[in-house]
Chain A
Amino acid sequence: MDKVIIASNLSLSYSNDETIINKANFSVDSGSFIFITGASGSGKSTLLKSLYGALSPKEGSLIVGGVELRNVSGSKLNFLRRHIGIVFQDYKLVKEWTIEKNIMLPLIINGYEKGVTQNQVDSLLKHVRLKHQAGKYPQELSGGEQQRVAMARALSHNPILILADEPTGNLDDYSSQLIWNLLEGANTQLKTTVIVVTHHIPEAMGVAYKHFHIEFGSIHEVN
């Protein structure tokens, strides 16, 4: 099976003083569903940031989608990010854009035609049950609705990899269930690799998954 992520002796830190992830070795198969857990401040979000190139490895090697992220060039990083869907805990929606335009963003960046873009956005808005809110701005929606928009945006361009940072952290049950269903659907139907950073793995998961746990700077797989 192809590997989407290969980390060898990976060390991560924000400055030279403190190493957050220390010489970690792991790999992620294409099409797999991964949970990353760990205590607060253990480095879960830091690891996720390194996977989309927001934090460069201090030591070792990190290859995502065939791109080595240590000292990666801006153009290569942009190329990689165009094939990744990211869901943030704080949603990161563009406030001055309607939710329809927010969902369109990855499609615009990837140069899709207008007709294709509109069809894809309409379909995703139906999936996240927000078709009637298409023209509203993010601040007019509840937290759960905003996260559903962020989810739709992450799925819009059929990415090879979805990275989700505590996507259901503060959501109501309805929105949480919708998010999990969408992530499962992307994994089973589109064979998208999904990596979710979370404190709690849902009890009733409809897909097979792997579980990595971060503790004291090291990453190990939980069986």
Chain B
Amino acid sequence: MKSIRNHLSLVIALLSILFSIQIFNIVDRSVMAYKKNLSTNYSLVVVSNMTLNNKEIADADSNIDSMTELSPDNVIQRLNTGMSTKNMELLKHTLPKFYKVKLKHYPSPGEIESVTKNLLQNKNITKVENFSQSHDTTYKLLLLFKNVVSLFAVSIFVITTLLIFKELRIWQFKHSERMSIMALFGAPTWLRSAVLFRLAIVDALITSVIAFALFTYTAASPWVLKQFSDIGISIVIFDPIYDFLMLAGVAMFLSILLATLIVLGHKEEV
């Protein structure tokens, strides 16, 4: 029981940090996936007097991915109120050319402005419709969501770091007597600290295993999967290799840092 209590306090603090990191990861991936969705649906409309080729448009701005010509047939059909075929052909030739320009990623408002400016430098392009108003609103909402979650993750990180420092003081108190006694019998620093480092490594491993189990379960939970499918995105909630190694690395680094600080702060009793 005492042994479990010894481990529990650090394990809980470390687990909270790993939890906030993984939550941040999930939100970041969700935002990226949502941005990708938006970029698929988002495009600019370019109006030109002359036929444009793909290369001259792609060269205009590095953010441009592709360009497709929009057929004027729909517009002509609506104007077709008893017009002769000859007049229809004439109208078709006098109408400007419409192009749909897709971008490589979902752009920021600044990038949209820059792409628009670069396209308008082409003398044949008379108008660029970038739908900036609705784009700006979506982009800002996305940023707000990401920032709120980041703030939440940072808050958890700060609180748990404070918890870890409190734990550090308890450890310092608990281990300093043993370390002093060992020093009195000539134990070198590495031997005096061995118990502390072993405890830190064991706690980091316990935390990593709990985090692995928790996130693997969460990632497979039908309720969680439904939430993501409802907003139309599909992301890796927990990568059992990459995410596990990253979380285990953070837990190991923090607990070893904690043990190192205790060893460095230890003063021999006189």
Contacts and interface: CB of A to CB of B under 8 A. Distances in A.
Interface of A: 14, 49, 52, 54-55, 74-75, 77-84, 86, 92-97, 105-106, 108-110
A93 to B, nearest CB: 8
Interface residues of B, number: 15
Given A49-B270, A55-B270, A94 B178 contact: yes
B259 to A, nearest CB: 16
Contacts, number: 50
B186 A109 contact: yes
A16 B163 CA distance: 40
Contacts of B188: 75, 78
B95 interface: no
B182 A109 contact: yes
9 contacts: A54-B269, A82-B185, A82-B186, A94-B178, A96-B178, A105-B182, A109-B182, A109-B185, A109-B187
Contacts of B178: 94, 96-97
Contacts of A105: 181-182, 185, 187
Which of B177, B184, B191, B268 gathers the greatest number of chain A CB atoms within 10 Å? B184
Contact of B181 (A55, A74, A94, A110): A94
A49 B268 CA distance: 12
Question: Which among B184, B186, B188, B191 has the greatest number of chain A C-beta atoms within 10 A?
Answer: B186
A77 to B, nearest CB: 8
Given A54-B270, A55-B270, A94 B185 contact: no
A39 to B, nearest CB: 21
B195 to A, nearest CB: 9
Nearest to A54: B270
A219 to B, nearest CB: 20
B183 to A, nearest CB: 8
Interface in B175-226: 177-178, 181-189, 191
